[in-house]
Amino acid sequence: MENISRFSKLKIIGLDQDFLKYLFYNQSIKILDLLMHIIIFLLVALALFLYFRSVNSNTSDPQGALDSSHQLELGESTSFDNKNVAYLSKGKLYCKNQNNQIEEIHSEYIQKLIDRIEKKQQQHGWKEGTSWGTTPVGGVREFSADNIDVHFAAAEILPENKILYFLKGEGFGGLFRYDLKSKEELRISHHQNLDYSDLRYDPSRKQILCTSNLSSGVSNIVLMDEEGDSSHELTGGDTEDISPCWLSDGADNANGNNQIVFQSMGLARSAEGFVIARGPASIQLLDTDKGEVTPVLENKNYDFLDPKVSKQGDLYFIRRPYDTDQYKTSNLFLDTILFPFRLSRAIFHYLNFFSLMYSREPLSSASSPYGKADMKDIMLKGKRIDAEKALKKGHNIQGIPSLVPKTWELICRNQHGQETVLANSVSSYDLSADNKIIYSNGYGVFSLENGVSALIFKDKLVSEIIV
């Protein structure tokens, strides 16, 4: 009887193990089925999210501000009627001439580059869709002029109705001079891996100050002659030194001719050497004879941007609060919620990449590699701006919406250290030779006289003003 009871216990234990295996298998199937339904639900939700986002981007654009079409409207200001005013917008250069006509500056160099590529496309177009149009690693050879990425990176108005500008392409850059009357373009210099910005020309010195941007993230102040030769760096170090400006001859300074003010930011790097943060922007004074740098304005709570000095010795600059991207508890919660959507998006783009590589067709017509950039997310003075949100909720100047908040202030600091706020929501500004002020809020261009702003003209996404 004892042996029988032991046998029964063993049999019951064996039955329990089989039952547990069955139960575990059954529950695993249910869990996998639940996960499959969750993934399908997330993919559907992602598709709906992208659809409604595209619809809203087309219907919620205030005043057509993000439309790709180019529309200009002159204002009532007469302060700059007889002066050339240039500005950069979405990588293109425009100029309001002395006759109050606004025209786009067309570079002959870019046009010749487009013509060469179109000629190449005509010669090799038959290769598209064949094995001749495939690279050894499985990529697709491109022969279309639409792939050209050459844009205007900086400009400066010269005497005698001429404009100096820098064209930047993929892996190369060039300095050019353009005659507004004859429409002729002269190439001054052209080199690989050349990247200039913040052009400043002084006719009395016949020299050019500019910023040289390196691939490492470092930017240095460079001085060269008007022909682009004899260039040498005035600053160095692991910093971002930009926006140089000479002290005017009329400034109350014995060494004004040999001194430069510029904007400087320190760089913070990861262990791998990548730039992960930038310190507050300060204004520094450089004596080119002595090689000495003296701080002018520094504050851990503010950025001081784009310094310029008038003939009277007054210092102008843009002041805005300094903030860094910090990872907070709210970021952790948001990342957790959005993780399935981001994972689904990553999987989609991964599969879309293989579709483009092997079938030369995207999985979605909206995923074309040559699609237009998202104009809701743009860069102004090193800050990422949500243009759509800013135009809806931002500060208006004479009914013109601003791309930057009111905390971006244009300041004048006199030689006694007294500061005056001249305007709010200022994304870019410049001083004319007769010390007249012109500024932009990203969507309109205004003159400033006696504390009153007057609209000169308005355009979309004005990133830089030159007068």
According to the model, what pLDDT value does residue 144 have?
53
According to the model, what pLDDT value does residue 120 have?
73
128 burial type by CB count under 10 A (0-12 exposed, 13-18 middle, 19+ buried): middle
According to the model, what pLDDT value does residue 428 have?
96
According to the model, what pLDDT value does residue 118 have?
75
Residue-by-residue DSSP string for 264-322: EEEEEE-TTS-EEEE---EEEEEETTTTEEEEEE--TTEEEEEEEE-TT--EEEEEEE-
3 state DSSP class of 10: helix
Which tokens belong to 154? 């900086």
According to the model, what pLDDT value does residue 15 have?
46
Tokens 């261009």, residue located: 445
pTM: 0.74
105 DSSP assignment? P
274 burial type by CB count under 10 A (0-12 exposed, 13-18 middle, 19+ buried): exposed
According to the model, what pLDDT value does residue 224 have?
94
2 DSSP assignment? H
Which tokens belong to 300? 């851990």
Which tokens belong to 90? 């979405």
Which helix H or strand E contains 190, and what residues bound it? Answer: strand 185-192
According to the model, what pLDDT value does residue 155 have?
96
For 415, other C-beta atoms within 10 Å of its C-beta total: 12
442 DSSP assignment? S
What is the spatial distance between Cα 155 and Cα 174, in angstroms, rounded to a whole number? 12
pLDDT in tens, the chain (467 residues): 444 454 444 444 454 555 555 555 666 667 777 777 787 777 777 666 665 655 554 444 444 444 444 455 667 677 777 788 999 998 999 998 877 888 899 999 988 888 887 777 776 555 555 555 555 444 545 545 555 678 999 999 998 899 999 999 888 899 999 999 999 999 999 888 899 999 999 988 899 999 999 999 999 999 999 888 888 999 999 999 999 999 865 444 444 468 999 999 999 998 888 888 899 999 999 998 888 999 999 999 999 999 999 988 999 999 999 987 655 566 666 777 777 777 777 777 777 766 666 665 666 655 443 334 444 567 888 888 877 777 777 778 888 899 999 999 999 999 899 999 999 999 999 998 888 899 999 989 999 988 888 999 888 789 999 99
3 state DSSP class of 89: strand
- Nearest residue to 280 via CA among 266, 270, 268: 266
